[in-house]
Amino acid sequence: MKVLFTGLGSIGTRHLKNLHAVAAERGVAVEAWALRSSGRALPDETRALLAREVREVPEGEHFDAMFLTNPTSLHFETLRALRGKADALFIEKPIFDDPSLRVEDCILPGQKAYVAAPMRWCGTMLALEKCLPELRVYSARVICSSYLPDWRPNVDYRTVYSAHRDMGGGVAIDLIHEWDYLAGLFGVPDEIHCLRGTYSHLEIDSDDLAVYIARWPHMLGEVHLDYFGRTYRRAIELFCEHGTVTADFGEGTLTREDGTVEHYEEPVNERYLREMTYFLDYAAGEEKKSINPPETALAVLKLTLGETV
């Protein structure tokens, strides 16, 4: 399997390692290329997983899959420059940093493409999805609160894309997972209102807080996203007919309406391994449909920026 990675930061490196791990379980050989703009030397363990590092893709080269893992602000131009170079696309979230950009201007019609949505693959979320049909939900309250300087140990948070608006950073886009899974669980809301801005002591120019209220035909929802919470919290509370159902993704637990607590604790990488397994099946044709195509991902991006789709 010949693949191209367009960036090897923390998420690109994770996907590269997981690709090799899942492919090895299946007895599939991987020839991984890295398209690099940086002169930074890669760690030895990362270089060992690569067949080639290139500054540009040679004319006539074609790949079974391409992993778009460079900064969000570069996604559109990279996709346009490499259009038609791969059979299947794995696009790191969010798809773009500008909701006015059009999918058809950078991706070929009928192109196999999946936009990353790892929260959909965590054990707690899978359990919540399974029980959702039996619930009568009146409202949802979502929170994702964490401290940006703790995200990447030994890396100055002020240098990463999350800290810079012009690189596609900011909680509304960076924490797009929350709106992605809400849209997956309940569909696109009919009405949405958003307030966001920079309010904390963090030395960044991107938004560090976004608060939303949304209306669906059968329910209301509240969403809180921030970069400055000193205690990590990531959860959804569903206020239902017979009680409250809480999926706590940080703790790995699902609390049912009757108070019963189910445990789904697991290493974070398990969700990424499930996601990679799905993508390889999709790329190979065993999965016929993308569960998060570019058009859906673009609609979710508009939601995160407070636009009703």
The per-residue pLDDT of the chain, averaged, comes to 94
**Tokens representing 34?**
């890295």
- Supply the pLDDT for residue 28: 95
Domain span at residue 95 reads: 2-118
Buried b (16+ CB within 10 A) or exposed e, 200-213: eebebebbbbbebe
CATH classification at residue 29 = 3.40.50.720
**1 or 97, higher pLDDT:** 1
Number of domains within the chain: 2
- Supply the pLDDT for residue 161: 80
pLDDT more than 70, % of the chain: 99
pLDDT band at 246 (very low <50, low <70, confident <90, very high): very high
Whether 307 is in a domain gets the answer no
What is the average pLDDT across 55-74? Answer: 94
- Supply the pLDDT for residue 309: 57
The tens digit of pLDDT for each residue in 195-243 reads 999 999 999 999 999 999 999 999 999 999 999 999 999 999 999 999 9
223 and 145, same structural domain? yes
Q: Which 3-state string (H, E, C) describes 97-112?
A: CCCCCCHHHCCCCCCE
261 and 147, same structural domain? yes
Residue 219 dihedral angles phi and psi, to the nearest 5° = -165, 165
CA 234 – CA 268 distance, rounded (Å) = 13
Whether 199 is in a domain gets the answer yes
Instruction: Tell me which residue of 68, 66, 13, 45 sits closest to 269, measured CA to CA.
Output: 13
As beta bridge partners, residue 210 has: 196, 225
CATH classification at residue 166 = 3.30.360.10
- The answer to whether 20 touches 48, Cβ cutoff 8 Å, is no
- Supply the pLDDT for residue 109: 94
What is the average pLDDT across 6-15? Answer: 94
What is the average pLDDT across 274-302? Answer: 93
